[in-house]
Structure 1
Amino acid sequence: MILCVGLATVDLVYRVDRIPGADEKAQATAFEVAAGGPAANAAVTAAALGAPVTLVTAIGSHPLGALIRSDLRNHGVRVIDAAVASGAPPPVSSIVVAGHERTIISRNAGELEFSVPPEGLPDAGLTLVDGHHPALAVAAARAAHRLVVDAGTWRPVFADILPYAEVVACSAAFRHPTGVVEAPHVVVTHGPAPVTWTSGGVTRSVPVPPVDAVETSGAGDAFHGALAYFLAGGATMEETLAEAIRVAGVRVRHPGARDWLDRL
């Protein structure tokens, strides 16, 4: 089983012909509602690939939370809600997409703190954390048999998490305060450019095949979900990175929050 720990949001996705300017109204050509967030999207990807997946996150009892639960349930992800007693709205993102451009307005987890549920965290062969909900992330990192860290951008909690990591997957924008990320495997994605992978003091470049990208939202999350899936299945790092790149390539070739999963 793969355990994902981190952010789940309500994503409201509007598709328009062009990003509107200030004080300008735009008519959406399409509209979607889906669960979002790095950990949630990674969980959906791993589940679509065939893994049993549990997501530990903070949703709460607000009616909007039902949208998150429904989408995750429909895509085979079991949810453990650390905020079940909270009536506050869950994190929400409004995403305006026009071709390769997008504008995102988010109200994420903020400063709210949620503790590990009374039943504790389930045992998992591999755990992925995204650094949101710090108390949950630290508890999951300490309990993990194998830990993958989605390090999109620096968060202070990473100082407590990274020492437990087997794989740290960074975006090109990630900056560690010391300038050095220490882990057995450090992976850095650069969009359509080659992925770099450092292990044992040696850095390799992994090519990214060119694709006709129509939507890049969630590509990194898909990469991380595939990374977790193939590592948990016993693949080597070389094999895992090749498959994660392939999965991210499938994601960017298809518009929509979830339709691309049918192409895996």
Structure 2
Amino acid sequence: MAPVIVCVGLTTIDIAQVVDALPAADSKITADRAWLDVGGPAANAARVAHREGCQVRLVTALGDSSLAMLARERLDGIEIIDIAPPDCQLPVSTIFITPDGSRAVVSRNAAALESAGSPGAEVLKDVDVVLHDGHLLEASLLLAQNPAPIQVLDGGSWKPGLELLLPLLDVAVVSADFALPGSTPDQALDDLAGFGIPRLARSRGAEPVQAMIGEQLGIFPVPQVEAVDTTGAGDVLHGSLIAQLAGGIDFTAALRNAITQASESVTHYGVL
């Protein structure tokens, strides 16, 4: 039986355009290429885990708009638990990608979602790993109360109320910019360890990944590649990591493999 994963959090529609440089005020530029796809940390991680052979349930907020219909098509093969009201407006992200592979993103994320329902307990049936991106915190808090699956945080940025979720986690993998209120990104692993999270990692783009397993510190090299598009590299890291954890691979080996997958993902346009 395939490992079962639940991803909790944001789905967006991404409009990506490759440009020579970011547009200046009151200017118009021509993109070299453009595409439309599903995005969002939880949705992207779900797609990666599904690609790696897992059975995936995505707890997210879609609604009934035409954009939500498009998202459902792109999430084919993933079980969707939609906790949004029908009139929910699915967030749209605009992404500009420059020749060095860097990207600039404009998005409302979950800011427009005024209310969301609660997933039922059946979502956790036979689940091996639950991933939280923090955008649907109430749903995450409900599902993290169950101690059976491995509870993982995708910490792209700090979100209000996240301190309630942290003590319930088994793993947290955060970005280079993640910081607790009143602290700095360089202190993130120490700060998170203070919440009792036993396995931690901090990605830093092309720089080595920092890790803390118990009281042991580690550095995990990142393969050096020619970056074309860094969009969603962190989501690939999380999706690959949870797929391997769900398959019974230990955290150290899973993290090394996930780093390789994330590095490969920046060598082409798009997340998948």
Q: What's the TM-score, normalizing by structure 2?
A: 0.89
The one of 1, 11, 25 equivalent to 2:14 is 11
Which residue of the partner structure matches residue 261 of structure 1?
A: none
Query: Deviation string for 1:169-223 (max 9, x for gaps)?
Result: 0112111246511211011111111111101211111111211111100000000
Percentage identity across paired residues of the two chains: 37
Q: How does 1:197-208 map to 2 (within 5 A)?
A: 197-208=211-222
Q: Which runs of 5+ in 2 are unaligned?
A: none
- Where in structure 1 do 4 or more consecutive aligned residues deviate above 4 Å? none
User: What residue number does 2:86 align with?
Assistant: 86
Q: Which moved more, 1:110-119 or 1:162-171?
A: 110-119
Alpha-carbon distance in structure 1 between the residues aligned to 2:232 and 2:269: 11
Partner residue, 2:123? 121
CA contact (8 A) 1:195 1:205 kept: yes
Partner SS state of residue 121, structure 1: helix
Matching of residue 221 in structure 1 with residue 235 in structure 2: yes
CA RMSD across the alignment: 1.6
Aligned length: 255
Equivalent residue for 1:63? 66
Contact 2:103 2:229 in 1 (8 A): no
2:47 is equivalent to residue 33 of structure 1: no
Contact 1:113/1:134 (8 A) holds in 2: no
How far apart are the structure 2 equivalents of 1:248 and 1:118?
Answer: 32
TM-score (structure 1 length as normaliser): 0.91
Structure 1: give runs of 5+ residues left out of the alignment.
Answer: 259-264
Question: Matches of 1:195 and 1:149 in 2, distance apart?
Answer: 16
CA deviation profile, 1:87-121 (whole Å, cap 9, x unmatched): 13211101121222322111211152312145753
The correspondence of residues 1-264 of structure 1 with structure 2, limited to 5 A, is 1-73=4-76, 76-83=77-84, 85-99=85-99, 100-110=101-111, 112-117=114-119, 121-123=123-125, 124-143=127-146, 145-177=149-181, 180-182=191-193, 183-258=197-272
